[in-house]
Amino acid sequence: QLQLQESGSGLVKASQTLSLTCTVSGGSISSGGHSWNWIRKPPGKGLEWIGYIYHSGNTDYNPSLQSRVTMSVDKSNNQFSLRLASVTAADTAVYYCARGRPSGADYDFDYWGQGTLVTVSS
Amino acid sequence: DVQMTQSPSSLSASVGDSVTITCRASQSIDIYLNWYQQRPGKAPKLLVFAASTLQSGVPSRFSGSGTGTDFTLTISSLHPEDFATYYCQQSDSAPPTFGQGTKVEIK
């Protein structure tokens, strides 16, 4: 059974960089045809897709965040990561990692991590 | 971006009831519509993709329909574990976008 687990700092100061890692177990991040995504849910608001990365390193980011987002993949440790620069209080959210269904269904999210709360402090 | 609007935002129902949730897209998305269930403190779970295809392992009491801009999720007979928040999401064009959610509560 595939499992995803987010980890990283739960408290980030405003203007600094948020960094999270998603560890994949029960399957290989390099097995083809899946996008590896980050999605967030601010308190009291809806879900927002941040972007994805493939094991090849190809990425696609939400234009609303593109200038501040960087994703990377570490195939040797079966992990992928998110960096979000210049954070503000508006970036406070539960952050989820999720897998896209195979065969190019990049935006159908079939496995999710439990989520991790990141709070931006002033 | 494609805007997704769900209705109602919440509903109260009893075990055994049938409930229907509606999702409307701001432009045509063909059949590229997914439904997720989220229980408190848990990750979202994919229930339906491509408007009407049940994800593996999802009970048959869940069904999805629609095409274009109007979609529905129906739960034919509510079980206690179905009380949760449900989200629709379009996968037709980037960036994928979600509805605001429908909370199904116990009456």
pLDDT digits (tens, 9 = 90+) for B47-63: 999 999 999 999 999 99
Mark yes or no for CB contact B89/A107 under 8 Å. yes
For tokens 């909370």, name the residue: B103
Contact A47 B44 (CB under 8 A): yes
Question: How many whole angstroms separate alpha carbon A101 and alpha carbon A34?
Answer: 6
Q: How many CB atoms lie within 10 A of CB B48?
A: 23
Report which of A44, A25, A10 is spatially closest to residue A99, judged by C-alpha positions.
A25
Chain B contacts of A96, Cβ < 8 Å? 43-44
From the list A55, A33, A39, the residue with the least C-alpha distance to A101 is A33
pLDDT tens across B22-78, in order?
A: 999 999 999 999 999 999 889 999 999 999 999 999 999 999 999 999 999 999 999
- Is the Cβ–Cβ distance between A68 and A7 less than 8 Å? no
Which residue type sits at B3?
Answer: Q
Shortest Cα distance from B87 to chain A (angstroms)?
9
Instruction: Return per-residue pLDDT of chain A as tens, 122 residues.
Output: 999 999 999 999 999 999 999 999 999 998 878 999 999 999 999 999 999 999 999 999 999 999 999 999 999 999 999 999 999 999 999 999 999 998 778 899 999 999 999 999 98
* Phi, psi at B71, each rounded to 5°: -140, 155
A105 to A3, A23, A36, A72, A99: CA distances (angstroms): 19, 21, 11, 20, 10
Predicted local confidence at residue A102, as pLDDT: 84
CA distance A50 to chain B (A): 9
Q: Does A42 touch chain B (CB under 8 A)?
A: no
DSSP symbol at B80: G
Distance between CA B76 and CA B48 in Å, rounded? 15
* B45 interaction partners in chain A (CB closer than 8 Å): 112
CA A104 to chain B, closest CA, distance in angstroms equals 11
A81/A53 Cα distance (integer angstroms): 9
The one-letter code for the residue type at A42 is P
Q: Could you say which of B43, B45, B94 has the minimum Cβ distance to residue A60?
A: B94
